[in-house]
């Protein structure tokens, strides 16, 4: 990955992480002492890899307060204060113990726990402190992207870049991992002039009111289903090949999704981008616009 892509992408992650949490009616936040929830129904992926040991596991759990009128099913609820973050440090690490459970709105506390868990493998550089600790993120398949985006931002601000998402293998119940490392911060450098005639590898996604997810590449709307996936893969491969001819084989595939897009749709899009030969996946800072 070029230094420019790393620097720009890291700043984007910081920007998305600093988006203000929405204001809600006066309800109690999710209780950190609420009963433990059942394991989430994970997103299905065709690009998953066998599970491997990690240093930190973060699981997002739907736990609305008792006085809340939450009509949404677990996973599709977009009220941030109805969610808990459970953080577990690997038993082999010093200080490992019972899981820490915090309300999703307790951003500073969550980041403090992440930094503490990752500190033993952290190194300082000119640009930032970066840890080699591995983080696994577990979220229900129908979780709104806005919540996952905030978790990604927390990891970035905590200096964690070795991120993977727990997924289920297509056609089986076997749990696997989908690795999507975050960009490592780099010393700011002048941005080189981008070549003309080749578009960046970017897929925009947004959810319609009826729940349908729309995917767009450039000005082309991509249909859902197998045929649409084939069209999307072909378009992305053309772009990737163009960047390779220019000596930029590490050009990133950018996920630019609206806040209401289900996590499963994001994972499915990552699968297509990887199938097109693009391994470097990055998340855009701002929500996609229709």
Backbone angles phi, psi at 45, to 5 degrees: -135, 145
Angle subtended at Cα 191 by Cα 187 and Cα 194, rounded to the nearest 5 degrees: 145
- Measured over the CA atoms of residue 85, residue 73, residue 51 and residue 201, the dihedral's sign is negative
Q: Which residue has the higher pLDDT, 106 or 290?
A: 106
- How many whole angstroms separate alpha carbon 64 and alpha carbon 229? 36
> What's this model's pTM, rounded to 2 decimal places?
0.82
- How many whole angstroms separate alpha carbon 150 and alpha carbon 112? 15
Split at pLDDT 50, 70, 90, the class of 103 is very high
Residue 1: CA count within 13 A, CB half-sphere: 21
What tens digit of pLDDT does each residue of 140-179 get?
A: 999 999 999 999 999 999 999 999 999 999 878 899 999 9
Split at pLDDT 50, 70, 90, the class of 46 is very high
How far is C-alpha 193 from the geometric centre of its chain's CA atoms?
Answer: 29
- Backbone angle region of 251, left / alpha / beta, with phi > 0 → left and psi within -120 to 50 → alpha: beta
Q: Which residues pair with 160 in a beta bridge?
A: 131
What tens digit of pLDDT does each residue of 240-255 get?
A: 999 999 899 999 999 9
- How many whole angstroms separate alpha carbon 34 and alpha carbon 75? 17
Q: Where in the chain is the domain with CATH 3.30.420.270?
A: 201-283
Angle subtended at Cα 198 by Cα 156 and Cα 202, rounded to the nearest 5 degrees: 35
Answer whether 13's CB lies under 8 Å from 283's CB.
Answer: yes
Pull the structure tokens for residue 116. Answer: 């503490």
Fold of domain 201-283? Nucleotidyltransferase; domain 5 (3.30.420)
148 Cβ contact list (under 8 Å, min separation 6): 60, 137, 139, 263, 266
Split at pLDDT 50, 70, 90, the class of 71 is low
What tens digit of pLDDT does each residue of 232-289 get?
A: 999 999 999 999 998 999 999 999 999 999 999 999 999 999 999 999 999 997 655 5
- How many whole angstroms separate alpha carbon 252 and alpha carbon 56? 26
The average pLDDT across 107-112 equals 97
Q: Which of 14-18, 133-137, 182-186, 205-209 has the lowest mean pLDDT?
A: 14-18
Q: How far is CA 95 from CA 21, 100, 116, 163, in A?
A: 31, 12, 9, 21
Considering the chain, what percentage of its residues have pLDDT values greater than 90?
A: 61
């Amino acid at each position: 990955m070029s230094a420019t892509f790393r620097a720009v992408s890291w700043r984007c992650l910081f920007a998305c992480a600093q988006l203000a949490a929405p204001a809600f009616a006066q309800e109690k936040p999710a209780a950190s002492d609420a009963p433990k929830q059942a394991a989430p129904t994970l997103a299905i992926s065709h690009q998953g890899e066998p599970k491997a040991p990690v240093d930190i596991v973060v699981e997002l759990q739907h736990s609305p307060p008792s006085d809340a009128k939450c009509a949404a099913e677990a996973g599709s609820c977009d009220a941030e204060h109805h969610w808990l973050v459970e953080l577990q440090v690997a038993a082999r690490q010093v200080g490992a113990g019972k899981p820490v459970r915090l309300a999703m709105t307790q951003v500073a506390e969550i980041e403090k726990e992440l930094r503490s868990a990752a500190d033993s493998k952290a190194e300082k550089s000119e640009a930032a402190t970066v840890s080699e600790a591995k983080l696994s993120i577990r979220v229900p398949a129908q979780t709104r992207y806005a919540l996952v985006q905030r978790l990604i931002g927390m990891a970035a601000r905590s200096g964690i870049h070795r991120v993977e998402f727990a997924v289920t293998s297509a056609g089986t119940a076997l749990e696997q991992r989908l690795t999507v490392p975050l960009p490592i911060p780099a010393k700011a450098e002048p941005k080189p002039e981008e070549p003309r005639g080749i578009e960046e590898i970017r897929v925009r996604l947004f959810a319609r009111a009826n729940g349908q997810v729309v995917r767009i590449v450039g000005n082309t709307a991509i249909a859902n289903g197998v045929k649409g996936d084939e069209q999307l893969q072909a378009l992305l491969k053309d772009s990737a090949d163009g960047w390779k001819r220019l000596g930029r084989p590490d050009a990133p595939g950018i996920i630019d999704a609206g806040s209401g897009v289900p996590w499963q749709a994001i994972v499915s899009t990552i699968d297509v981008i990887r199938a097109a030969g693009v391994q470097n996946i990055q998340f855009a800072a701002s929500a996609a616009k229709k």
